[in-house]
Amino acid sequence: MGALLLVKIGWRNLWRSPGGTLLTALALGLGLTFVLISLGLLDGSHEQMVRNRVRFGTGHVVIQAEGYQRTGSPELLLPAEVVSATETFLATDPMKRVSRGVSPRLLASGLLTSAANADGVRIMGVIPKDERAVSLIPQRIVEGSYLNDDQQSGVVIGAALARKLAVKVGGKVVLMIQAVQPPGKDATDAGRGEMKSALLRVSGIFRTGVQAIDAHIVQLPLSEAQSLLGAPDRITQVAVLLEWEGDSLKVAQGLRKQLAGVPAEIFSWREAMPSLAQIFLLEEAFNIVMNAVVLAMVGLGILNTILMRVLQRRFEFGLCLALGLRPRQLAVMVIGEALALTVISLALGLVLGLGVERYLATTGLDLRWFFQSSLPAALVFEPILYSSLSLTRIVSSVGIVFLTAIAISFYPALKAARTDLPGALKVF
Amino acid sequence: MELKDVRKTYRKGPIEVPALRAINLRIAPGEFLAIAGASGSGKTTLLNIIGGLERADDGEVLVDGRDLQLLSSGELARVRLQRLGFIFQAYNLLPVLTALENAEFILLLQGVPVEQRKERVRKLFSEIGLAGLENRRPGELSGGQQQRVAVARAMVTNPALILADEPTAHLDSVTATALLDVMEQLNRAHGATFVYATHDPQVMERARRLIHLHDGQIESDVVQTGHVL
């Protein structure tokens, strides 16, 4: 009863000093703005980083022979049919829209020798057309060109490796590799463990900015790699690239069902690259701490404003109690006032926060000024950060700020409800 | 309304200040009663206890046969809301509400429908010369007008008793006289019971019954000549 009047009184009380109210609302709104911007940039940078890292690595989802993640043994291989089974699954209706590419790979270690030098390398046998759809390496060619599907004896190598071997595009290198025993073959098979070599011509040099890739990765056509390794129709992994990182778990689960009869392990990028996932968790934790500090400031701002207003209106509260208002109703009035202030603050914060977020999502935050001359030619991350804020993030941020403000207003409300009745009416 | 052997002592550390000593008082419906006395004589304490704003240390405070001393704070709030009206010295009104909203404040808390509220307030406003000022905020009204709005708020629920603590203390003599005219008119026209505290001799003269307090005791209780009871 009279709740509307109490809210009306609370609302009008806010505008007794409009300057103070607006200033407080602006301060609190800026708190929400900060939270939205920091979350947007954090999520955006994560998305960019994931996009880059998964495209230099295993994709959003990777299918490997069981035990490969733990041992890295080149002998743990999958039959080529896994690729078609994967493609069939990703062509089904719910998955059609989420997939961007599938690339089968054969991985091994070997020795790459040039006329000048030799070095241990990580070999990736790939189907050039499929690898282009999944990996960033084809896009980071700085000299020559990437592999093409007709070329059998080409190889692309990293810039650091090219420098060490002193080879250029068109130069010849010899790749030495120890053949493996793929599952199903007899242990006494001729050729197992035998050293094989192939003369390859460098068709392109890439630079990713990641030393481990630029100094050690070489890519050559899958059929050539299979022949060298003595594993025809065998692959080490299938990398799947998705439109959106958030679908990784769903796709991994679907593939586990699809490939239930195959001795394969299927991981989302978080499982395949646990160190990256942990970095994100750490950043998320740091962000939570930062936002908690901002929330604490927002909360103290509301507490200070409402408490000051309550203390200044002791006589009014005494008057209301004398007239028959119950302490509980007084508390509702104060909470109503805090609620109104919070709503104004949130509205300001949303307008400012989403406005800036929109700008950062489209134009981006350019960090090139920060790197200046130290900016390498190719980066593992983008120098321009783009914000990416989901509706869930917005709703949860607004909800947390709202609940914090309301929870904090209970103290001044309690203070008002406990107004000492005869004492509050003594003003002279 | 009856007070039986009511006592009140204020304590501040080891110091005890007796405010009321064995007050016995009966107030009949329709009275226009002034409680007079010097500052510190116990006028405000007596009004607070009659109005259920403060509890006595001892004795009985009976309103409609119910002892206010035995009621919970929630029940006391209900009695104040339903049966009593209050007028204070100054700052009587909620500054963010208009004159009309201030006057209907208690009716709204009582759950009276909007049409009835407006009608009762407008009628009373017109009776006490506030017509046309309904939408003004307290800051836009003179001191006398503000006190009349407070009188309207106290009167509009037809309470059993209206308590006024030095209602003219901050008014000039002309405005004070006008306010007392309004209170007296409402007392005669509606039979409203007024009990007000004052230390102004001119205001005392207007009462039909005058009680003098001295050091927390009733020094005299007289029906004033020239008034018709």
Summarised one tens digit per residue, pLDDT across range A169-193 is 999 999 999 888 655 555 455 555 6
- A364-404 pLDDT, tens digit each: 888 777 765 555 544 455 678 889 888 988 998 899 888 88
- Among A253, A271, A289, the domain-final residue is A271
pLDDT given for residue B141 in this prediction:
93
Question: Any CB–CB contact under 8 A between A339 and chain B?
Answer: no
- Among A271, A289, A323, the domain-final residue is A271
Same domain, A108 and A241: yes
pLDDT given for residue A187 in this prediction:
46
On chain A, the residues whose CB falls within 8 A of the CB of B48 are: 422
Distances, alpha carbon A292 to alpha carbons A32, A236, A412, in Å: 11, 45, 21
On chain B, the residues whose CB falls within 8 A of the CB of A331 are: none
Same domain, A183 and A261: yes
On chain A, the residues whose CB falls within 8 A of the CB of B51 are: 322
Q: How confident is the model at residue B28 (pLDDT cuts 50, 70, 90)?
A: very high
Answer yes or no: are the C-beta atoms of B163 and A425 closer than 8 Å: no
Residue B215: is it exposed, middle or buried by C-beta count within 10 angstroms (0-12/13-18/19+)? middle
Same domain, A321 and A253: no
Distances, alpha carbon A218 to alpha carbons A41, A144, A154, A375, in Å: 34, 14, 10, 25
Averaged confidence pLDDT in chain A:
86
Q: Write out the two tokens for A268.
A: 């989302």
DSSP state for residue B166 in the 8-state scheme: S
On chain B, the residues whose CB falls within 8 A of the CB of A421 are: 53-54
Can you tell me whether residue B178 is helix, strand or coil? helix
Can you tell me whether residue B65 is helix, strand or coil? coil
Instruction: Report the number of distinct structural domains present in chain A.
Output: 2
Distance (Å, rounded) from C-alpha B228 to C-alpha A145?
A: 117
Same domain, A45 and A69: no
Same domain, A325 and A417: yes
CB contact under 8 A, A323 and B105: yes
How far, rounded to the nearest angstrom, does the alpha carbon of residue B139 sit from its chain's CA centroid? Answer: 22
> Which helix (H) or strand (E) segment is B85 a member of?
strand B84-87
Same domain, A320 and A171: no
pLDDT given for residue B27 in this prediction:
94
Same domain, A298 and A262: no
List the single best residue of B76, B96, B97 to mutate versus A (max A Cβ within 10 A).
Answer: B96
- Residue B88, Ramachandran bin (φ over 0: left; ψ between -120 and 50: alpha; else beta): beta
Say yes or no to pLDDT of B226 above 80: no
CB contact under 8 A, A323 and B108: no
**Strand partners of residue B58:** B7
The predicted model gives A84-96 an average pLDDT of: 86
Name the residue range of residue A153's domain. Answer: 58-271
- A105-139 pLDDT, tens digit each: 999 999 999 999 999 999 999 999 999 999 999 99
Same domain, A336 and A396: yes
Distance (Å, rounded) from C-alpha A298 to C-alpha A293?
A: 9
Reference B146, options B171, B181, B164, B173; nearest CA is B171
Question: Any CB–CB contact under 8 A between B96 and chain A?
Answer: yes
Averaged confidence pLDDT in chain B:
89
**Lowest-confidence region among A160-164, A250-254, B104-108, B225-229:** B225-229
Say yes or no to pLDDT of B100 above 90: yes
With the CA atoms of A232, A238, A241 and A245 taken in that order, what torsion angle do they form, in degrees rounded to the nearest 10? -170
Q: Enumerate residues 6+ apart whose C-beta is below 8 A from A336.
A: A6, A7, A9, A10, A11
Q: How many C-beta neighbours within 10 Å does residue A410 have?
A: 15
Residue B180: is it exposed, middle or buried by C-beta count within 10 angstroms (0-12/13-18/19+)? buried
Buried b (16+ CB within 10 A) or exposed e, B79-94: bbbebbbbbbbbbbbb
- Among A224, A256, A271, the domain-final residue is A271
Q: Strands A195-206 and A154-158: what pairing?
A: parallel
Reference A66, options A76, A55, A74; nearest CA is A76
Answer yes or no: are the C-beta atoms of A310 and A412 closer than 8 Å: yes
Longest dimension (CA), chain B: 55
CB within 8 Å of chain B, chain A residues 368-427: 421-422, 425, 427
With the CA atoms of A8, A14, A18 and A19 taken in that order, what torsion angle do they form, in degrees rounded to the nearest 10? -170
CB contact under 8 A, A2 and B108: yes
Q: How many helices (H) and strands (E) does chain B have?
A: 7, 10
CB contact under 8 A, A9 and B86: no
The predicted model gives A308-313 an average pLDDT of: 85
Q: What is the ipTM of this complex?
A: 0.88
CA atoms within 13 A on the CB side of A75: 13
pLDDT given for residue B228 in this prediction:
46
On chain B, the residues whose CB falls within 8 A of the CB of A329 are: 109
> Which amino acid is located at A396 in the chain?
S
Same domain, A225 and A101: yes
Question: Any CB–CB contact under 8 A between A2 and chain B?
Answer: yes
Distance (Å, rounded) from C-alpha A254 to C-alpha A267?
A: 11
Answer yes or no: are the C-beta atoms of A208 and A115 closer than 8 Å: no
Phi, psi of B125 (to 5 degrees): -60, -40
Residue B42 C-alpha, separation from nearest chain A C-alpha, in angstroms: 13
Same domain, A148 and A123: yes
Q: How confident is the model at residue A2 (pLDDT cuts 50, 70, 90)?
A: low
Say yes or no to pLDDT of A340 above 90: no
Reference A171, options A162, A180, A179; nearest CA is A162
> Which helix (H) or strand (E) segment is B86 a member of?
strand B84-87
CB contact under 8 A, A324 and B82: yes
Q: Which domains does chain B have, with CATH numbers?
A: 2-91+160-223 (3.40.50.300)
Answer yes or no: are the C-beta atoms of B2 and B22 closer than 8 Å: no
Q: Write out the two tokens for A402.
A: 């709202």
> Which amino acid is located at A122 in the chain?
R
Give DSSP secondary structure letters for B193-218: -EEEEE--HHHHHT-SEEEEEETTEE
Same domain, A18 and A71: no
Q: Write out the two tokens for B96.
A: 């963010």
On chain A, the residues whose CB falls within 8 A of the CB of B42 are: none
Question: Closest chain B residue to A14 measured between Cα atoms?
Answer: B96
Question: Closest chain A residue to B83 measured between Cα atoms?
Answer: A324
List the single best residue of A326, A337, A421 to mutate versus B (max B Cβ within 10 A).
Answer: A421
pLDDT given for residue A378 in this prediction:
44
Reference A389, options A30, A33, A1, A60; nearest CA is A33
Same domain, A205 and A138: yes
Question: Any CB–CB contact under 8 A between B4 and chain A?
Answer: no
pLDDT given for residue A191 in this prediction:
55
pLDDT given for residue A167 in this prediction:
95
Question: Any CB–CB contact under 8 A between B114 and chain A?
Answer: no
Answer yes or no: are the C-beta atoms of A340 and A11 closer than 8 Å: yes
CB within 8 Å of chain A, chain B residues 123-162: 153
Question: Any CB–CB contact under 8 A between A18 and chain B?
Answer: no
Can you tell me whether residue B18 is helix, strand or coil? strand
- B124-167 pLDDT, tens digit each: 898 888 899 999 999 999 988 998 899 899 989 888 899 998 88
Distance (Å, rounded) from C-alpha A115 to C-alpha A168?
A: 12
The predicted model gives A81-107 an average pLDDT of: 88
Question: Any CB–CB contact under 8 A between A315 and chain B?
Answer: yes
